[in-house]
Amino acid sequence: MLDGLSVIRNKIGSSSAEEVVASYLDRIEKSDINAFTCVAEDAIDQAKKADSLNIEGPLAGVPIAIKDNISTRGLPTTCSSAILNGYVPPYDAHVIERLRKAGAVIIGKSNMDEFGMGTSTETSTYGPTLNPWDTERVAGGSSGGSAAAVAAGQVPVSLGSDTGGSVRCPAAFCGTVGLKPTYGAVSRYGLVSYANSLEQIGPLANRVEDIATLMDVIGTYDNRDSTCVNHDAGYTDALQDDVEGLKIGVPEEYFGEGIDDNVQKLVWDAIGKFEDMGAEYTKVSMPNTPYALAAYYIIAMSEASSNLARFDGTRYGTRSEGENWHMMASKTRQEKFGAEVKRRILIGTYALSAGYHDKYYLKALKVRTLVKQDFERAFEDVDVLMAPTMPTPAFKIGEKMDDPLSLYLSDVNTVPINLAGVPSISVPCGFSEGLPVGLQVIGKYFDEATILKAANAFEKNTDHHTKLAGEVV
């Protein structure tokens, strides 16, 4: 059974943060799942500092892995892309400032799909992260490194980012907990943008209560992100395990074609468990769900085509040589971006181009409004929605790499949440042929309290989270 924060805090208290961090560094060193893109050379110094300063608080001396698209001062931030090879940001992201203040030890940067573009961490320039439950399988993505590191006990907690499911997918595939907060709940300042209007930084951990603890640290107002909302959260305070009277909505469209039978069964079992605990469920319809995937990819790729324009070799990272600046920029982008990134930039550029803008981009925005309305309507009657996080358990490495469309389809149950901007958590709800399956609990805007409460109650009444990778057959 993997340790939660309370156990680690006790260990740090009885020995030292230095010792605890050293033992985690040792596990990272011995691992071959490729969860990290770099390990912080000053991790031990950070731990010593935490020891000497006697910082109180839930994260003092606790090692944490940070997805490699979150800016860390003095530590490379490459988005797992060759184009950012050697780039060390001169500033910390808001969430990193908050973590450092809370005494956390930034132990390293975790592997991801290049610029967050993928569902399997296979598009990383450093190669795929392997799933700790079956190393022939993907860890999910794009925050694959963050999830696998937690699942393999290399860190107790980590941060990922979720644009269309990038925290929840690897959490589900690796059997950990992962939260995509409400859009605006966590500052994006310092997160290298892929699709600004969709993405949020989110925590991953082995325990729901640890997710709440992390949210208390990172989910504070920041005036450097204009979309960040100043709201009173108190994530840990909201944590209970009483779901008596909780109204669950089960969206039919999330159990449609392509959803694995076993996954459906495990999710229904979980909903049954909630009934046992005093909750009640009704089926709800979210009719615009079938159009969400297409709208999502158009919006995400359009924004990405603009966001990734700054990577031209002029100011940071690596560059290719060319006889003039536009040849330099062109060759840099041609040679240093991976295939999936180039595909998305090209599609996004096309979708925004004169003559196609109305046909694709504007239409996608309209669908986005309809999807939002689906959620608003559903939440008039229910407190939370429950559905499978991913349509299947983790697939084999290489299985979908040559078929981007089928890969995009695996995001079918996660992307509507990002289009709407509501919060959603994935918690382990069982195993299918030895592979973890995730239950997705979706909440109202800024109502993380209710989904954390539901997830916590489920965790307290089940034992899926106690299983270790390799133990389940």
Partner 1 sequence: MVYENPDGVMVGLEIHVQLNKLATKLLCGCSTDYHTSEPNTHVCPVCMGLPGCLPVLNKRAVEYAIRIGLALNCEIVEQTQFHRKNYYYPDLPKGFQTTQYDYPIVSDGRVVIEGEDGEHVVRIRRAHMEEDPGRLMHMGSIDRSKGTLIDYNRSGMALIEIVSEPDMRSPREARRFLDKLRNILEYLDVFDSTLEGSMRVDANISIGGGDRTEVKNISSHKGAERALLYEIMRQKNIKRRGEEVVMETRHFDEARGVTISMRTKEEEHDYRYFPEPDLVPMRVGSWVDGILETLPELPDARRSRFISDYRMVDTHAKALTSDIRVADFYEEVASQVDPAAAAVWVSDVLKGELNYRDLTIASFTVEDMVKIIELVVGGKITEKGAVEIIRNILDEGGCPMGIVKEKGLLKVEGDVVDQAVEEVLKENPEALEDYFAGKEKSLNFLVGQVMKKTRGRADARSVREMMLEEIDKNYR
Cβ atoms of residues 37 and 109 within 8 Å: yes
Draw the binding track, 25-64, toward partner 1 (x: CB under 8 A; -: no contact).
----------------------------------------
Burial (0-12, 13-18, 19+ Cβ within 10 Å), 315: exposed
Q: How far apart are CA 448 and CA 213, in angstroms?
A: 12
Among 6, 52, 240, 314, the residue binding partner 1 under the rule CB under 8 A is 314
Q: How far is the CB of 188 from partner 1 (least distance, A)?
A: 6
Q: How far is the CB of 190 from partner 1 (least distance, A)?
A: 4
Residue 450 is classified by DSSP as H
Among 71, 182, 414, 424, the residue binding partner 1 under the rule CB under 8 A is 71
Near partner 1 by CB under 8 A, which window of 252-260, 297-305, 450-458, 464-472? 297-305
Q: Tell me which long-range contacts 331-334 makes (C-beta under 8 A, separation of at least 24).
A: 332/83, 333/83
Active site residue 30: no
Among 354, 380, 402, 405, the residue binding partner 1 under the rule CB under 8 A is 354
Active site residue 67: yes
Q: How far is CA 4 from the centre of its chain?
A: 19
Q: How far apart are CA 305 and CA 13, in angstroms?
A: 48
Among 236, 318, 349, 432, the residue binding partner 1 under the rule CB under 8 A is 349
Rule CB under 8 A: say whether 230 interacts with partner 1.
no
Rule CB under 8 A: say whether 197 interacts with partner 1.
yes
Token code pair at residue 38: 């770099």
Active site residue 142: yes
Q: How far apart are CA 96 and CA 78, in angstroms?
A: 16
Q: How far is the CB of 316 from partner 1 (least distance, A)?
A: 7
Rule CB under 8 A: say whether 218 interacts with partner 1.
no
Cβ-proximal residues to 427 (8 Å cutoff; 6+ apart), any chain: 177, 208, 438, 439, 441, 455, 458, 459, 465
Q: How far is the CB of 72 from partner 1 (least distance, A)?
A: 10
Draw the binding track, 84-113, toward partner 1 (x: CB under 8 A; -: no contact).
x--x-xxx-x--------------------
Cβ atoms of residues 8 and 20 within 8 Å: yes
Among 6, 85, 227, 334, the residue binding partner 1 under the rule CB under 8 A is 227
Rule CB under 8 A: say whether 316 interacts with partner 1.
yes
Q: Which is nearer to partner 1, 89 or 391 (CB)?
A: 89
Q: Which of 161, 166, 305, 424 is catalytic?
A: 166
Rule CB under 8 A: say whether 70 interacts with partner 1.
yes
Near partner 1 by CB under 8 A, which window of 18-26, 218-226, 273-281, 418-426? 218-226
Token code pair at residue 402: 């040559």
Q: How far apart are CA 370 and CA 9, in angstroms?
A: 46
Rounded (5°) CA angle 309-310-313: 110
Cβ-proximal residues to 472 (8 Å cutoff; 6+ apart), any chain: 133, 431, 434
Q: Which is nearer to partner 1, 71 or 176 (CB)?
A: 71
Cβ atoms of residues 289 and 371 within 8 Å: yes
Using CB under 8 A, list all residues that contact partner 1: 69-71, 77, 79, 84, 87, 89-91, 93, 188-193, 195-197, 223-227, 302-303, 305-306, 308-312, 314-316, 325-326, 329, 349, 352-354, 357, 361
- Known catalytic residues are 67, 142, 166
